[in-house]
């Protein structure tokens, strides 16, 4: 029951917060991604996750961190996005990391195309007073990729192996 709370309430709340923060400020706080990573340990302990499975989740998080920071170093994504990707990878584990990455990449491409199209249109006067929306609409701004990362996690979680482990435990 407690493990279900972690997976079905805390993790989604952190994902929503990351996406919202990224939309509003083009940043994802370290405290948010750090909390996501730290909460995995009590989750795994409460779940009684076998050491081998725990190791595979940690390995997935490390692989995602390396990939994320490589993309950050090449200016493809922000540092917060890289850490969010690693945190989600930790929770999903090796079993779902590739599928998640594919889904998040596709969603990121769609988000980019949507923003590029939106940025070609003028903002309605009533919306032009919202600072976060002006920044989102600015052609010099990047893409809040945390939105795609969070959305990808929501898409993969219903069939993720970690959910089956929680249901079995």
* Chain segment 128-154, per-residue pLDDT in tens: 788 888 888 888 899 999 999 999 999
User: Helix (H, G, I), strand (E, B), or coil: what is residue 49?
Assistant: coil
Rounded Cα distance between 144 and 8, Å, is 24
What is the per-residue pLDDT for 132? 87
| Cβ burial, residue 79 (10 Å; 0-12/13-18/19+) | middle
Poorest-pLDDT segment among 16-25, 76-85, 101-110, 160-169: 160-169
Mean pLDDT of 21-31: 95
What is the per-residue pLDDT for 128? 79
Which stretches within the chain are classed as H helix?
A: 2-5, 11-25, 30-47, 51-73, 79-92, 94-118, 131-137, 146-156, 161-168
78 pLDDT more than 80: yes
What is the per-residue pLDDT for 125? 83
169 pLDDT more than 80: no
| Percentage of the chain modeled with pLDDT above 90 | 82
Cα dihedral 3, 4, 6, 12, rounded to 10, equals 160
* pLDDT tens per residue, range 102-122: 999 999 999 999 999 999 999
**Per-residue pLDDT band at 45 (split at 50, 70, 90):** very high
């Amino acid at each position: 029951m407690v493990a279900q709370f972690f997976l079905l309430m805390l993790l989604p709340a952190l994902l929503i917060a990351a996406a919202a923060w990224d939309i509003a400020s083009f940043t994802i706080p370290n405290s948010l991604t750090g909390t996501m990573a730290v909460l995995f340990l009590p989750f795994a302990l409460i779940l009684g996750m076998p050491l081998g499975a725990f190791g595979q989740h940690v390995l997935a998080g490390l692989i995602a961190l390396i990939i994320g920071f490589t993309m950050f170093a090449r200016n493809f994504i922000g540092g917060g996005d890289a850490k969010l990707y690693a945190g989600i990878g930790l929770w999903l584990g090796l079993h779902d990391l590739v599928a998640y990455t594919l889904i998040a990449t596709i969603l990121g491409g769609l988000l980019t195309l949507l923003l590029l199209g939106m940025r070609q249109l003028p903002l309605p006067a009533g919306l032009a007073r919202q600072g976060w929306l002006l920044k989102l609409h600015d052609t010099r701004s990047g893409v809040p990729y945390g939105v795609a990362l969070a959305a990808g996690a929501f898409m993969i979680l219903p069939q993720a192996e970690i959910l089956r482990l929680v249901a079995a435990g």
